Amino acid sequence: MGFSVGSLADYTKQNAQQLVTSSVLGAKTIDLIKQSSNVMVGVKSSETINIMDTDTLFQSGASCGFTASGTTSFTQRTVTVGKIKVNEALCLKDLEAKYLQEALPRGSRYDSMIFAEEYSNRKAQKIADALEAAVWQGDITSGNSQLLHFDGLIKQVNASAVQANANPYIATVATDITSANVIAVFDAVYAAIPAAVVGKDDVKIFCGMDTFRTYTIALKNANQFHYSLNVKADSEFILPGTQITVVATPGLNGTKKVYAMRMSNIFFGTDLLDEQERFELFYAKEADQVRFVAEFKAGVNVAFPAEVVKFTV
């Protein structure tokens, strides 16, 4: 007679000391804006981008005298920040009946978070991911709790940006980005960049990681191997035949939109530099809870929307 184990479930080892998390994307666009030194700090509600412009009118110098001509103008655009917070309350007693009980300390009161480092890092990454989407897709009228705190770059430039959906590089007005037209789409965006802008060193073309993949695959299938395409889907490369960088940004994922603009044209406003990365994880004794608290301000705008090129479907 051997073991009688028919009433027991098959054993599955559950390692309470190891957690695996899924992938997140990060605040790539904000990092690029920081590199261009266009971060406005100390913004409690809104702050202006102050713009000066002047013209130059040539006159004949064949005779003496002075004739005033020309105009110098001052204009403003406003960065309005959204006031955002992330609050979570965690009752560790909820874990007592689960495999995670093995990670709980001895005793019936728990005044610290288990896996605190992993949890905190994951939370910070999720905040960065959501903020990256809002930098592009934010819309205070959207009704989406993740996007309604401030207007993103898409909305800020939508009315004034140069549209690049039609000729000469796209045979008909494109209503989608596909492997068949994606090379023409990027050529059209490049061709539409204003002459005063296209030669600047800080011009970049932004697209979602999905569109970026479609483009690199199309180049590969077109046998354009002389261009460097050894890149990841969240990376960047030089637009073939130019010196302009194509940047894959998660903030444009799923939008089927492409934008070209100078980095010096984009401004990010916040109250405290990297405030979105600051948080507290503490024990609230009166509630017998571990609590996560993060609070920050964020907003974006461009100085010259007419210098932006867009492809939108």
Closest CA to 290 of 123, 117, 111: 111
Instruction: Return the residue matching tokens 């993103």.
Output: 152
Spatial separation of the C-alpha atoms in residues 23 and 98, rounded to whole Å: 25
Closest CA to 268 of 32, 33, 51, 28: 33
Task: Tell me if 311 sits within 8 A of 258, measured CB to CB.
Answer: yes
**Which residues neighbour 57 within 8 Å (Cβ) at sequence distance 6 or greater?**
69, 70
Spatial separation of the C-alpha atoms in residues 293 and 139, rounded to whole Å: 24
Spatial separation of the C-alpha atoms in residues 230 and 248, rounded to whole Å: 14
**Looking at the DSSP assignment, which residues form a beta bridge with residue 84?**
296
DSSP secondary structure string for all residues of 24-54: ----HHHHHHHHTT-EE-S-SSEEEEEEEEE
Closest CA to 276 of 136, 152, 132: 132
Please report, in tens digits, the pLDDT of each residue of the chain (313 residues total).
454 446 656 544 444 444 444 334 468 899 999 998 899 999 999 999 998 889 889 998 999 999 999 999 998 899 999 999 999 998 888 888 888 778 888 888 888 888 888 888 888 889 999 999 999 999 999 999 999 999 999 999 988 888 887 656 655 566 789 999 999 999 999 999 999 999 999 999 999 999 999 998 898 888 765 555 556 656 888 898 899 999 999 999 999 999 999 999 999 999 988 888 888 888 888 898 888 888 999 999 999 999 999 998 8
Instruction: Return the residue matching tokens 């596909």.
Output: 178
Instruction: Return the residue matching tokens 């005063």.
Output: 196
| Residue 255: both structure tokens together | 């939008």
Task: Tell me if 298 sits within 8 A of 148, measured CB to CB.
Answer: no
In the chain, % helix, strand, coil (3-state, to 5) comes to 25, 25, 50
Exposed e or buried b for every residue in 202-240, given b needs 16+ CB within 10 A? bbbbbbbbbbbbbbbebbeeeeeeeeeeeeeebebbebb
| Residue 249: both structure tokens together | 């940004």
Q: What is the pTM of this model?
A: 0.83
For residue 194, is the peptide bond before it cis, meaning its omega torsion is within 30 degrees of 0?
no
Spatial separation of the C-alpha atoms in residues 144 and 119, rounded to whole Å: 25
